Amino acid sequence: MPKQGYHHGNLRQALVDAALILVEERGPTGFTLSEAAKRAGVTPAAVYRHFEGRDDLIAECALQGFHIFADVMEKAFDQGNPSALLAFEATGRAYLSFARENPGHYIAMFESGISIQRSQSLYDVAQRALQVMEDAAVQLSQHIPQDRRPPPQMFSAHIWAMSHGVVELYARGNSGMKGPFPPEDLLETGIGIYLRGLGVLPHDA
């Protein structure tokens, strides 16, 4: 087999790239380190110079994924400004886009059982991504009467959960569920219903 991804001596990244393909094809527990090494074109012994085991390798996939994810979310938020509503909606759509375009990373991040508490670096970058949605929620919350204003962390968690549910059920295709509408429409209308309930949007909008 050709040495896929193993170039310029960057064995560590070659192994991550191989693992991302295997995670997408077989799931996070569907391959061995030896198979990752073979896919990268190196001996199994070489893997242990960089990773303690399969979980360590998948954790690195998750770490790199969260960096990409945080960058995508920040870009979406910035492009939506100065409108708080557009910035908020853009972060939801960015979630769907990321899951579609980076399936190996997405699975490593959210479906592998790897905790963000596994390392400080993983926790920090995951919090950076979460902070984008919280910042968007803070901006949008200013339009909600104070007596009906949820904490920004709750606000953003609701939208995160809604986005994640649409991804899992309809956007990635691994559940077998066929939605009657495009995932983007499902998320947009769901966010609209949620915001109307909070009084951010008028009911006839």
Q: What is the pLDDT of residues 145-186, one digit of tens each?
A: 777 788 888 888 888 888 888 888 887 766 556 667 888 888
pLDDT for res 173: 60
| Average pLDDT taken over every residue of the chain | 85
Check residue 3 and give its pLDDT: 43
Q: What is the pLDDT of residue 179?
A: 66
> How many CB atoms lie under 10 A from the CB of residue 41?
17
> Which of the listed residues 10, 29, 51 is the one where a domain comes to its end?
51
Name the pLDDT band for 8 (thresholds 50, 70, 90): very low
Residues 15 and 80 in one domain: no
Q: Which of 38, 70, 55, 59 is nearest to 135 (CA)?
A: 70
Alpha carbons within 13 A on the beta-carbon side of 135:
19
Q: Is residue 205 part of a domain?
A: no
pLDDT band at 1 (very low <50, low <70, confident <90, very high): very low
115 domain-assigned: yes
Kindly report the CATH number assigned to the domain that includes residue 36: 1.10.10
Is the pLDDT score of 2 beyond 80?
A: no
State residue 7's pLDDT score. Answer: 46
Tokens of 202: 């008028």
Q: State the residue for tokens 């983007």.
A: 184
pLDDT of residue 5: 44
Q: Are residues 87 and 131 in the same domain?
A: yes
**Nearest-5° Cα angle at 94, 4 to 160:** 110
Residue 131 placed within a domain? yes
Helix intervals (H) in 81-177: 84-101, 103-110, 120-141, 152-166
Domain interval for residue 78: 55-198
pLDDT of residue 203: 55
- Check whether residue 194 and residue 129 sit in a common domain: yes
CB 109 within 8 A of CB 164: no
16-30, 85-99, 141-155: range with lowest mean pLDDT: 141-155
The angle formed by the CA atoms of residues 39, 40 and 43, to the nearest 5 degrees, is 95
Question: Can you read off the two tokens belonging to residue 124?
Answer: 């920090």
Q: Are residues 36 and 59 in the same domain?
A: no
Enter the DSSP assignment of 116.
Answer: G
Determine, yes or no, domain membership for 81: yes
Residue-wise pLDDT tens digits, 139-150: 888 777 777 788
Q: Nearest Cα to 96, choosing from 123, 72, 62?
A: 72
Structure-model confidence comparison of residues 20 and 134, the more confident one: 20
- pLDDT at residue number 167: 86
- Kindly tell me if the per-residue pLDDT of 9 is higher than 50: yes
The per-residue pLDDT for range 26-71, each reduced to its tens digit, is: 999 999 999 999 999 988 888 888 898 899 999 999 999 999 999 9
Domain count for the chain:
2
